[in-house]
Structure 1
Amino acid sequence: MNISLTLTFLGGIGLFLLGMRLMTDGLKVAAGDALREILARGTATTPRGILSGIGITAVVQSSSAVIFATVGFVNAGLLTLFQAVGVIIGSNIGTTATSWLVAIVGFKVDLQALALPAVAIGMLLRITGQGKRRAYLGDALTGFGIFFLGLDVLKGSFGDFGEGFELAEYTGSGVLSLLMFVAIGVVMTVVMNSSSASLAITLTAAGTGVIPLTSAAAMVIGANVGTTSTALFAVIGATSAARRAAMAHVLFNVVVGVVAFIMLPVLLWLVAHTAALLRLEPGPATSLAIFHTLTKLLGTAIFWPATPRLVKFLETRFRTAEEDEGRPRHLDRHIASTPDLALDALNMELQRIGDIARRGARDVVSVEGAAALDRLHRDRLIVERLILATAEFSNRAQYGEMPSSIAEGFPLAMRISRYYGDIAEHVEEIAKLEASLTTPTDPSISEAFTEFRRETSNVLSLADPDDEEFSMKRLKRAIKDFADDYQSLKALLLRAGADDR
């Protein structure tokens, strides 16, 4: 294999990866609202969650993107872990769409005739739709075209490669040989960070006769196991909910990979009979697409009945992060690339910050406000840490283009977080000031203080926008009463100071 052929091969992989990236990123933004709607409403039961995962992954062409979106909904409290497991199972089935796309279209259609018009239309949508969702749809369509251009280059390079070097002669049928191909599949997926790319290369290599079917099936198993690397990287520094959802994805693919490897001869026998039953045109690429689908269906048969026990097991893991109140619970860095989900996560984290700030305000107006000084100081530090985390997350989420309706939400969220920071700071200052004051001996002053505290506590309760009974009318009335009580207490203290009481 000469240098020119090697560079052509690498260029084909590069085009394929670029196309996948454009497709996934474009569709994530273009279908942001639809993605939220489907995941929020289509996961009430495990079967519906599986169907949602299949459908979304087949469209977006990235199981990792769907899983990270699912993690975002778990973090935001819109999905339970039980519902998320259903989506993860479905997403793994949906990723077989790439195999079928390569098997059916990649070997039976003039790829350039399909790819170039897609690129042209996609770029037209991008140029004419700046700042609008159709621009991102154009990116996805352009990516679709580049995807097939890369596939066409791979087909050509593998054909030239096969003429000069028969890799099939170096493959054996023993367990060690098959394990080597599993390892190749894992490494390819980890290096390219895309199981779809790895599967496309495997199907193309098998379709052009470079490697035999059994070895290619082992590489498909390796690609499925290798896709867990993305989830494992997500676990590092992630929230507890993200870790649990990612671990469900890892367990699914590792267990299915082990079972599929053990049952490899049986599955290949089923592949042959399935192809005959469905009257599909025989060929290595089609056989591998069937094999890929059968392994995912096998995983579904294993994990669907075990979902309740899996969730129960995962709920007992990764508890430390949730116990640390100063650590963000909803700001998973992997959903920052999807603006709709990022804004949802940011709003959920702001609710937490607001709860902590209001809690401190209620503490300082309670009878033991001065005694709670240490707790108030701790709460202020927690709020400051969370505000820094939200600012960092917001900056990451705003990197790149996004619709103006979404972009406006991030600066507003940052202003709200600063207001909560001011509350926490003032609360600690009030507690310190109160600790330095002596208790008034005049009963009328003590009674006025008690009434003022009660009125302040009432305003704080009514000022929670997340409360189901929140009413702006009631809040305004309470604020007016609070202002009247403040003026009365102020006048009483001034008179007491003049009389030296």
Structure 2
Amino acid sequence: MTGALAFVLLIPLLWTVNALAVMLGSEDQLAMSLAIFHTLVKLLGVLVMWPLTGLLVRKLETRFRSMEEDESRVHFLDRNVQATPTLALNALALELHRMNALARRLAVEAISTEDGNNHHLPSGHRALESLNIAVGEFASGIPRNGVAATLLHGLPDAQRVGQYLVNVSEHALEMVTEHPTAELTVQELSDARNQLRAHAVTLLDHAQVDNTDWDAAVLQTLRQEFEAEYQALKMRLLRAGTAGELAPRHMAAILERLSDLHRIIDQATKAAIYLDRFIGQSRTPPPVAAEPDSESEPR
């Protein structure tokens, strides 16, 4: 665009170049004239594009979305699908699977990070809150007339799953921003805490309901093992605090972060279990009416 405009205004530009070269006393220096011409063309391009900058920015913003905008936008909840209950329930399951993946990713990131200024956790939490509202509105808009009750029994579970996943992200955000990692000088306790974190990440991996090797019984077993390990570490920290191995304030900070981790695992486990139950209920076929006995039919 700038090149075309420069070609149209070539004669005035050459006059300007010559005038400036004369003013600078370098009219006989070809290199100086070329430099002046090049500079004028660049300035012309800036002057042309400057008024259009705002319009171009708005156009580009409509074509490209930030990661937060993409995460908070529903992918499967469509009004056309909502009119057919069986399709709507399947769409709900797909959206909840996506929310579950996002919440688990945020939880793992919170467990692993030491950066209190992590910007992805707040944006992910806001995205899950937005998606949870969309799930509730979509579920409430599914038509009830002429639909087998067994297909709709799971809708409260769907909304419960959404809230559990929001809670996961909320506790993950709280763990990083309000309860930063406190150093443990007692090696035995530090190793036990690291092991608990590793087991938490393993449990979150098994909370992926749409995985081919998903097993609710395995998840429950891992949850029980995590609970026992958490309670044992908590008791050891309390004993270390009372024995003077840890300062009381230091011990309290460590326990608060572990409590956040405990809540994350609790809510993530519940979300996976109820999501699995919702999928099972929403796929239960309606009872088939028995064929009437031909001998008992009225004549």
On the 8 A contact 1:331/1:345 being kept in 2, the answer is yes
Deviation at 1:383, TM superposition (A): 0.3
Give me the whole-angstrom Cα distance separating, in 2, the residues matched to 1:433 and 1:496: 23
Which residue number in structure 1 is paired with residue 156 of structure 2?
Answer: 411
Which residue number in structure 2 is paired with residue 377 of structure 1?
Answer: 122
User: What does the per-residue CA deviation read over 1:299-322, in whole Å, with 9 as the maximum and x for residues that have no partner?
Assistant: xxxxxxxxxxxxxxxxxxx77599
1:423 to 127, 152, 168: 168
Q: 1:446 to 1:321 in 2, by over 3 A?
A: closer
Which residue number in structure 1 is paired with residue 24 of structure 2?
Answer: none
On the 8 A contact 1:329/1:349 being kept in 2, the answer is yes
Greater shift, 393-402 or 481-490, is seen at 393-402
- Consecutive unaligned residues of structure 1, counting only runs of 5 or more, are 1-317
Q: 1:321 to 1:491 in 2, by over 3 A?
A: closer
Amino acid at match of 1:329: H
- Which one has a bigger Cα radius of gyration? 2
Which residue number in structure 1 is paired with residue 59 of structure 2?
Answer: none
Q: 1:321 to 1:342 in 2, by over 3 A?
A: farther
- Matches for 1:143-292 after TM superposition, within 5 Å: none
User: What does the per-residue CA deviation read over 1:94-134, in whole Å, with 9 as the maximum and x for residues that have no partner?
Assistant: xxxxxxxxxxxxxxxxxxxxxxxxxxxxxxxxxxxxxxxxx
Amino acid at match of 1:364: A
Aligned length: 183
On the 8 A contact 1:398/1:407 being kept in 2, the answer is no
Which residue number in structure 2 is paired with residue 474 of structure 1?
Answer: 218
Deviation at 1:392, TM superposition (A): 1.1
On the 8 A contact 2:97/2:209 being kept in 1, the answer is no
Deviation at 1:400, TM superposition (A): 4.3
The percent of aligned pairs where both chains have the same amino acid is 30
- Consecutive unaligned residues of structure 2, counting only runs of 5 or more, are 1-62, 247-299
Which residue number in structure 2 is paired with residue 452 of structure 1?
Answer: 196
SS at match of 2:141: helix
Which residue number in structure 1 is paired with residue 95 of structure 2?
Answer: 349
Q: 1:390 to 1:443 in 2, by over 3 A?
A: same
SS at match of 1:464: coil
On the 8 A contact 2:72/2:128 being kept in 1, the answer is yes
Give me the whole-angstrom Cα distance separating, in 1, the residues matched to 2:223 and 2:189: 21
Which residue number in structure 1 is paired with residue 179 of structure 2?
Answer: 434
Give me the whole-angstrom Cα distance separating, in 2, the residues matched to 1:321 and 1:441: 41
Amino acid at match of 2:198: R
Amino acid at match of 2:83: S
Give me the whole-angstrom Cα distance separating, in 2, the residues matched to 1:477 and 1:411: 25
User: What does the per-residue CA deviation read over 1:450-472, in whole Å, with 9 as the maximum and x for residues that have no partner?
Assistant: 11101111111112211111123
Task: Looking at secondary structure, tell me which structure has more helix per residue.
Answer: 1
Deviation at 1:412, TM superposition (A): 2.2
Which residue number in structure 2 is paired with residue 358 of structure 1?
Answer: 104
User: What does the per-residue CA deviation read over 1:21-70, in whole Å, with 9 as the maximum and x for residues that have no partner?
Assistant: xxxxxxxxxxxxxxxxxxxxxxxxxxxxxxxxxxxxxxxxxxxxxxxxxx
Give me the whole-angstrom Cα distance separating, in 2, the residues matched to 1:499 and 1:384: 43
Give me the whole-angstrom Cα distance separating, in 2, the residues matched to 1:359 and 1:319: 23
User: What does the per-residue CA deviation read over 1:284-305, in whole Å, with 9 as the maximum and x for residues that have no partner?
Assistant: xxxxxxxxxxxxxxxxxxxxxx
TM-score by length of 2: 0.56
Give me the whole-angstrom Cα distance separating, in 2, the residues matched to 1:422 and 1:473: 23
In the alignment, does 2:81 pair up with 1:335? yes
TM-score by length of 1: 0.34
Deviation at 1:495, TM superposition (A): 1.9
Amino acid at match of 1:458: T
Q: Give RMSD over aligned pairs.
A: 2.4
On the 8 A contact 1:391/1:414 being kept in 2, the answer is yes
Which residue number in structure 1 is paired with residue 142 of structure 2?
Answer: 397
Amino acid at match of 2:230: Y
1:492 to 226, 231, 236: 236
